[in-house]
Each structure stands twice: as structure tokens, then as C-alpha cells.
Amino acid sequence: MPAIYDAIGVDYANLRKPDPRIAAYIHAALGDAKTVLNVGAGAGSYEPVDRQITAVEPSAEMIRQRPEGAAPAIQGSAEALSFADDSFDAAMAILTVHHWTDKAKGLTEMRRVSRGPVVLLTFDPAHRGCWLTDYLPELVTLDEGQMPVIADYARWLGPVTTLPVPIPHDCSDGFLYAYWRRPHAYLD
């Protein structure tokens, strides 16, 4: 089965520019990890440049869009990581878990291959208050159907710490909910 981003990921690297304020949260959560596995790595957004990164991405289209100098990407999926136990100081997955076929398996795989933190940037499907859902209430149903609830992460990873990451009104990243104060950006 082809990866979903082989179809919808065209020009993705131009739409998803990391926001330095969000990047700071991710980098801080990685702590002093030297080796980091980036699962569902996409075009490489938010990969720290000061660490040894191994990227895993199912989509050939996304791998093609990785910038020159980015960590090489292995085509694969979260649910079947081809690394030995405790291979990395940390693992990260940024805005990707909701696309995985078996979220529990993917997250337990990340825990298996990481000796340290598993850092996730995701969206809480129980969160309400975004203007976008006022206009597109179908997004609530979509999120509830594909996003794990926060309690699931502790079941799959063990004890977790959650930290809200504010989405700046002028966020440079083009993920869906980043447009909360700039609906005009959809028209650009």
C-alpha cells in the first residue's frame, strides 16, 4: 500500500517550515541526547542539526523533499522499526502519530529502540476552542477518530509528561491548526 504522503505530500517542504519557538520545545525535550531517531520524519522539519539523526519515513515523496544536508532517511514505518533495542538516546515523532496504522505498535517500537525520552508533538483531540472547528466542526470528528487521547500515550509508553506547546499567531509552520489567527493564509 502506498504511503499517504506520496499522494498528499507534494510541495510539503514548502508548506511546513519549522517555527523556531516550537522547535525550542522539541529540542529542550530531547535533553542531552546525542543520537535521535525521527519517526515519520517527513521532509525533516524540526530535526536538530546538532545531533546525529536517523530518519524513518514511509513516503518516497517525503524522502525526496528532504533538503540537502539533512540526515538520510530510511523508508520504513513506525510499526516495524529495524533497529536493536536501546539503539538511540532519544526518539521523536512530530505531528505524525495520527497517520500510523497501529499507533500502539508504533509507539511501543519507539520506546523499545530509545534508551531515553520519546518526544512527541501531537494534538489533543479533547481540546476545544480553535476557531477552525467553529467553521469546520467535522474536524472535531476527524481528530477524535484519528488522534490518540492523551491517556493512551501513558498506556503505550509508560509514564509521560505532557506540556502544552503554544501555537504562535504568526507560526511559520503550515500544519492545519497553525492558522488559528491567520485564516487569510489559506488564500495566499
How does pLDDT run across 130-171, given as a tens digit for each residue?
667 777 777 777 776 778 888 999 999 999 999 988 888 888
Task: Please give the CATH topology (third level) of the domain spanning 4-187.
Answer: Rossmann fold (3.40.50)
Q: How many helices (H) and strands (E) does the chain have?
A: 8, 5
- Side chain identity at residue 4, one-letter code: I
**What does DSSP assign to residue 67?**
P
How does pLDDT run across 90-110, given as a tens digit for each residue?
999 999 998 899 999 999 999
Q: How many Å apart are CA 120 and CA 1, to the nearest integer?
A: 25
pLDDT of 29 higher than 60: yes
Q: Report the range out of 14-28, 64-78, 166-180 with the highest average pLDDT.
A: 64-78
Return the number of other C-beta atoms located less than 10 Å from residue 183's C-beta: 11
Whole-prediction pTM value? 0.84
| Neighbouring-strand partners of residue 88 | 114
Task: Map out the domains of the chain as residue ranges.
Answer: 4-187
